A and B are shown apart, each in its own frame.
Chain A
Amino acid sequence: MERFSITIDQCQVPYEGEKNLLEVIRKANIDLPTFCYHSEISVYGACRLCMVEVEGQGTVPACSTPVREGMVVHTNTKRLRKMRKIIIELMLASHNQSCTTCDTSNDCRLQAIAKQLGVREVRFKQKKEFAPVDTTSDAIVRDPSKCVLCGDCVRVCNEIQSVGVLDFADRGADARVVACYDKGMGEIECVNCGQCVKVCPVGALTIKSEIDRVFEAIDDTSKTVVVQIAPATRVAIGEQFGLDSGQITTGQMITALRMVGFDKVFDTAYGADVTVIEEGSEFLKRYRENRDLPQFTSCCPAWVKFAEQYCPDVLSLLSSCRSPQQMFGSLAKDQLSDTLGIPREDIVVVSVMPCTAKKFEARRPEFAVDGNPDVDFVLTTRELTRMIQEVGIDFSKLSPGSFDMPFGFNTGAGVIFGASGGVSEAVLRYAASALGENGDQTFTQLRGSEGTRVTEIEIGGATLRLAVVSGLANARRLIDRIRSGDAHYDLIEVMACPGGCVNGGGQPVSKTRDTVYRRSQGLYNNDRMLQLHVSDENPYLQKMYSDRLDETRAHHLLHTTYQNRKRVALDDVLLSDSDPENTVELNFCFGTSCYVRGAQKLYNNVLKAIEEEGIGEFCAIRASFCGERCKNGPVLTVNNEVIDHCTEEKAMDAIHKILARKKPAQRV
């Protein structure tokens, strides 16, 4: 077989199928620095740090140069070294260098590359004025003064999540990364997944910290502070303390949390076990009755917000189950206030999550009782790391502790929730057991790293069609195929982050490419080490169901509803006014869903009819951009009456009725 090779710095380097020159150079163990190159998103070529000299081609960026047989490449020349240094100096000159107090200090690529390249001084004038920090979001803080315009966040949001909240605005020296109309991250369609935080090489996008408020609660002696830890955090936090990714550190985490000052340490996997039972029985019921299928999972808060914004037609297919975090919060506050004899207000529930969207989820108004939230604070894995460091605990040397009961008892099914495919596998184990089969099985078909995995599994004589997707762009594509009738499934698991929660926006930044894989393996290993693998075998859970939860109560504490959500906060626009005395106010919704369902045609037809009848002077016409009733679109509001699935006839009827009522008054 013919071998292809190129020459890099006088060495012959073979290549096969690498996407670009940079990949081959890195294969040759040369660490060319980059800001904007990520193998999973498109090549952008913005940072120019990977410039190399190719004989016959001149100086080219390696990331966007295809490999050609026999290329002669130089990566280490005087000119290139000088060029890289100047690029870093220029970046530093327009970068807010408050490194010691920056959230990303020590994880910062700019800091690391400046050190790697030996940049000792910045010869250019330092930029002094910066745009203000955006703190409108519950999950993500954006500090434009740190941005190096690599565009990683723009591409990950667009390409991996198909959300696209960030983009470049203006140009040249004024270019900047912003959300639409320069609004805050909390006022737009951001789903809070935090993937932008993960790819940001500097401190321009960071996690909104709740550390101070958690310490405050711990220090308050009148509060009992309990903490739940999510499965995906236990296989990742060790990385921050020099342990391998995927190493199970549940025991050390428990000890560390007690040392930090939490009163009780519980497991979100318990909440996950409850989720499996609720979601599993919901699925079996829907499957038997052959309605509301496919069932979509609802554990991922970024996916739920995504569905509320873009997929109003599938909202009724989402499982009504709350996520494990929220099930835990709701059960813990309800039960602990009884068993410990403490009023609900004095119990503080803190979650340790791999996820930034969980911060948003915890603040959803439906997850509170009389204004008291079920989950008070959410810490990401990275925030907990900082707390442990602040307290001064040597994490890697801790002897392991064990969970408090009752919410500390977990099964393997609850633990694998953290990996993409885990929820489906846990539900299938439950379904198998509920249908009289052995639930203690592994469904390896559901495991893997591909963004979309599809399989058929036989259980109890039925063939279930399953799809597991991670990455919201994959979810969008799958839903489009379902809408067009090209794909049919019974159960669909959606996780926003590629690979599932183990790769969540709150996790430590992946150092190597196999980090995410190793974390998932860690969870599957953990599952194998536990005695129980099927959620309904959890004895504490069985006791809770028999003692405390009848069907109504379970529904009340563990289920939720979803609402359509508008993408961008905007006011209605007044299109035409009329005599205020005799007004029929027409408000046409032009949101995404109504648009798709023909709002524009309705608007044109109704207006034409109004003109033909000569009643234009009585009509005030408004346009709104999403009234959040998407599945009933197109929606027209006539005075206070909301007309769903509106047609020209329905609209004109309503207008006539109101005018008829008003006419006698006019005569007077």
Chain B
Amino acid sequence: MNSSVSNQKFRCVCDILDRYEHKSSALIPILQAIQEVYGYLPEDIMTYISTALKISPSRIYGVATFFTHFTLTPKGLHVIKICDGTACHVNRSGEILEAVMKHLNLSDKKRTTDDGIFTLETVACLGACGLAPVIVVDEKAHGQMTPDTAVALIEAIRESDREQEATA
């Protein structure tokens, strides 16, 4: 673990709280900002937020589990979002989801690969229905996917990671 990064992160938490003046009404933006720093919401940081905002840890946990945007476990290096909105669904996004799950050995409950490289999410609509079915990997959208092209895409990402590592 790169240690000083972690220390910087905690200072970020302090800065975030200062920025929102420790107001309980700003809980959601605070949690969003913290998730940006850590990639997820760690329990101890939520407890600290609860102390700082005078909200019970249970309520914060409730908010954090209510919104699918928040995650309580560390996410993988790459986040794959498969759209299952109406347009994507009728264009067989379900089959893509199944293929990717099988390929990465994931399930409904297990969303991140053991090596911590990929996290799989489904979203209700990305607003790119013209390209259905759509997959977004790390902010980049890929349209008109099939189960085969989706698996190929994942393998391509793995390959490019390997190359980058080799050059580094």
Contact = CB atoms under 8 A, between A and B. Distances in A.
Q: Are the chains A and B members of one assembly? A: yes
Interface of A: 158, 163-171, 178-182, 188-189, 567-568, 570-571, 573-578, 590-592, 595, 600, 603-604, 607, 616, 620-621, 623, 625
A180 B61 contact: yes
Given A171-B66, A623-B44, A574 B59 contact: no
Given A567-B57, A590-B51, A625-B44, A167 B7 contact: no
A595 B55 CA distance: 14
B57 A568 contact: yes
What DSSP secondary structure best describes chain B's contact surface?
A: helix
Interface string B48-62: 100110011111111
A577 B1 contact: yes
A118 to B, nearest CB: 36
B56 A163 contact: yes
A397 to B, nearest CB: 47
B44 A570 contact: yes
B56 A165 contact: yes
A188 B61 CA distance: 13
6 contacts: A165-B58, A167-B61, A169-B66, A188-B57, A573-B6, A625-B44
Contact of A166 (B4, B10, B47, B58): B58
A401 B52 CA distance: 56
Nearest to A620: B3
Contacts of B135: none
A376 to B, nearest CB: 32
A571 B55 CA distance: 21
Contacts of A576: 3-4, 6-7
Contact of A567 (B11, B47, B65): B47
A577 B4 CA distance: 7
Contact of B60 (A180, A578, A621): A180
B66 A170 contact: yes
B150 interface: no
A575 B10 contact: yes
B11 A164 contact: no
Contacts of B55: 164
Interface string B12-49: 00100100000000000000000000000011101110
Most chain A CB within a 10 A radius of its CB, from B1, B7, B43, B59: B7
B62 A169 contact: yes
Interface in B43-97: 43-44, 46-48, 51-52, 55-62, 65-66
B57 A592 contact: no
A169 B14 contact: no
Interface of B: 1, 3-4, 6-7, 9-11, 14, 17, 42-44, 46-48, 51-52, 55-62, 65-66
Contacts of B9: 575
A180 B56 contact: yes
B44 A573 contact: yes
- Closest 6 interchain pairs by CB? A164-B56, A576-B7, A577-B3, A180-B57, A167-B58, A167-B62
A170 B66 CA distance: 4
A170 B65 contact: yes
Given A570-B43, A574-B6, 6 more contacts: A165-B58, A169-B62, A171-B66, A578-B3, A600-B52, A604-B11
B142 to A, nearest CB: 29
A607 B58 contact: no
A504 B7 CA distance: 46
B7 A621 contact: yes
Contacts of B17: 600
The residue among A590, A595, A603, A616 with the most chain B CB atoms within 10 A of its own CB is A590
Nearest to B52: A595
Nearest to B17: A600
A492 to B, nearest CB: 22
Nearest to B5: A576
Find the residue from A179, A575, A595 having the highest chain B CB count within 10 A. A575
A178 B61 contact: yes
Nearest to B45: A573
B3 A574 contact: yes
A517 B85 CA distance: 57
Contacts of B10: 573, 575, 603, 623
Contacts of B66: 168-171
A20 B7 CA distance: 53
Contacts of A181: 43, 46, 57, 61
B108 to A, nearest CB: 12
Contacts of A573: 6, 10, 42, 44
B6 to A, nearest CB: 5
Q: Which of A158, A167, A171, A595 has the most CB of B within 10 A?
A: A167
A189 B51 CA distance: 13
A604 B58 contact: no
B57 to A, nearest CB: 4
A604 B15 CA distance: 10
B22 to A, nearest CB: 9
B48 A590 contact: yes
Contacts of B58: 164-167, 178-180, 188
B19 to A, nearest CB: 13
Most buried by B among A164, A189, A600, A603: A600
Contact of A625 (B6, B11, B47): B47
A164 B65 contact: no
A629 to B, nearest CB: 16
A575 B51 contact: no
Contacts of B1: 574, 577
Contacts of A590: 48, 51
Nearest to A175: B66
Nearest to B1: A577
A168 B56 CA distance: 12
A460 B28 CA distance: 57
A591 B44 contact: no
Contacts of A575: 3, 6-7, 9-10
Nearest to A182: B61
Contacts of A607: 7, 11
Contacts of A165: 56, 58
